[in-house]
Amino acid sequence: MKISDYRPDSSDDEVDILARYPVEYRTLNQLDNIRIQTSVGLVPVSNFITRTPKQKTGLLRRTDAKRIMFLKADVAEGVLADTKVKEIQAAMEHFELPDGVDVTFKGDNEDQQRSQDFLVSAFAVALFLMALILVTQFNSFYSAFLILFAVIMSTAGVFIGLMVIGQPFGIVMSGVGVIALAGIVVNNNIVLIDTYDRLVQTEKDIRTAILLTGAQRLRPVMLTTITTILGLMPMVLQININFVSREISQGAPSTQWWVQLSTAIAFGLAFATVLTLVLTPCALMLRGNIKDWYDKRKTRKLGKTDDSAPNMEAEAAE
């Protein structure tokens, strides 16, 4: 207990004057010997209470009138925090929490979830605007579907590339890379389909129009893909070039920030180019075959109707 304080002549700070128990009595058991005044005199406080040692709480936190506590931990070097969070979430499913107790993951997990929701919404809005513009320009839902299908399938190349170089899928940088990749993939497919729509009006059959389209647009598509991938390779390989000192280093801290974005664009574009040059012409040929089959069936039905008309006139005359 603080009694008073004084400042010695040899000190600039005040010194507290404390009253303390002797060393042998400085234990928690002394709390039971504290006496309180009652109607019958002084009585030890242990007659009225049950003392239970617990961890000291220096600060009470509340959110929406509910008591909250934080549990924090660091992960070992080389271990992803997201992996540990998923392990904890899987383990929590087997625990029965008391009534009124809830567990919420905050920190990096909350920021990651917020970023993921934003990028998913941005990607959906971007696809919707692309579809709206493509339908109005091509005047065809099928052509717009082919282009957007290539955009969606290009994400498979993103995951393949990240697995090849052993990088995790970062919500922010990889997500931005997927959105940026969509613009390049759309351009390649627009060039291909627009050329096909122009040639199909002058060529005698659809197969010839598709072959000429591939021959005319192979070089522009490959040039776009190769130059983009080669330009991104220094970032994919984490190569840093210092033009001032003419030094080349690998794995610099500045390169680690962009490796996921560049990898997403490079590998996704390479995968999408295969889809553009192979799958898109096949899909255009499929549409042409279905259209020819429908026209032949329609013509056959009209022929049967014309053949039955004279017979009906003859029966009417008889």
Residue type present at position 307: D
Tokens of 51: 């003392």
Closest to 262 in 3D by CA, of 296, 289, 239, 293: 239
Tokens of 159: 């995951």
- Render pLDDT for 33-60 as a digit per residue (tens, 0 to 9): 888 888 888 998 888 888 887 777 677 7
Residue 77 has pLDDT above 80, yes or no: no
DSSP string spanning 196-240?
HHHHTTTSSSHHHHHHHHHHHHHHHHHHHHHHHHHHHHHHHTTEE
For residue 156, how far is the Cα from the chain centroid?
14
Closest to 212 in 3D by CA, of 226, 197, 222: 197
Mean pLDDT across the chain, nearest whole number? 80
User: Residue 229 contacts by C-beta under 8 Å, 6 or more apart in sequence?
Assistant: 266, 269, 270
pLDDT band for position 201 (50/70/90)? confident
Residue 308 has pLDDT above 70, yes or no: no
Tokens of 231: 């330009």
**What whole-number distance in Å separates Cα of residue 236 and Cα of residue 270?**
14
Helix (H, G, I), strand (E, B) or coil at 33: helix
pLDDT band for position 27 (50/70/90)? confident
**What whole-number distance in Å separates Cα of residue 64 and Cα of residue 37?**
40
Question: Mean pLDDT over residues 245-254, rounded?
Answer: 72
Q: How would you classify the pairing of strands 239-242 and 247-250?
A: antiparallel
H-run or E-run covering 299: helix 280-317
pTM here is 0.58
Strand partners, 143: none
**C-alpha triplet 125, 129, 133: angle, nearest 5°:** 170
Higher pLDDT, 226 or 296: 226
**What whole-number distance in Å separates Cα of residue 103 and Cα of residue 123?**
30
Share of the chain above pLDDT 90, in %: 3
- Render pLDDT for 140-161 as a digit per residue (tens, 0 to 9): 888 888 888 888 888 888 888 8
Residue 80 has pLDDT above 60, yes or no: yes
pLDDT band for position 306 (50/70/90)? low
H-run or E-run covering 259: helix 259-274
**What whole-number distance in Å separates Cα of residue 168 and Cα of residue 158?**
11
Domains in the chain, start-ordered, CATH in brackets?
121-295 (1.20.1640.10)
Question: Mean pLDDT over residues 236-244, rounded?
Answer: 78
Cα–Cα distances in Å, from 29 out to 21, 43, 48, 100?
A: 12, 16, 15, 34
Question: Mean pLDDT over residues 97-111, rounded?
Answer: 77
pLDDT band for position 237 (50/70/90)? confident
Q: DSSP secondary-structure letter at 258?
A: T
pLDDT band for position 30 (50/70/90)? confident
User: Residue 39 contacts by C-beta under 8 Å, 6 or more apart in sequence?
Assistant: none
Residue 316 has pLDDT above 70, yes or no: no
Tokens of 50: 């049950």
Residue 95 has pLDDT above 70, yes or no: yes
Per the listing, tokens 């220094």 go with 234
**What whole-number distance in Å separates Cα of residue 247 and Cα of residue 109?**
38
Query: Residue 273 has what pLDDT?
Result: 86
Query: Residue 194 has what pLDDT?
Result: 85
Phi-psi region for residue 21, left (φ > 0), alpha (ψ -120 to 50) or beta? beta
Closest to 47 in 3D by CA, of 32, 59, 37: 32
Query: Residue 4 has what pLDDT?
Result: 92
Closest to 156 in 3D by CA, of 262, 264, 237, 235: 264
Higher pLDDT, 305 or 107: 107
Residue 298 has pLDDT above 60, yes or no: yes
Cα–Cα distances in Å, from 240 out to 236, 245, 247, 257, 263?
A: 11, 12, 8, 12, 16
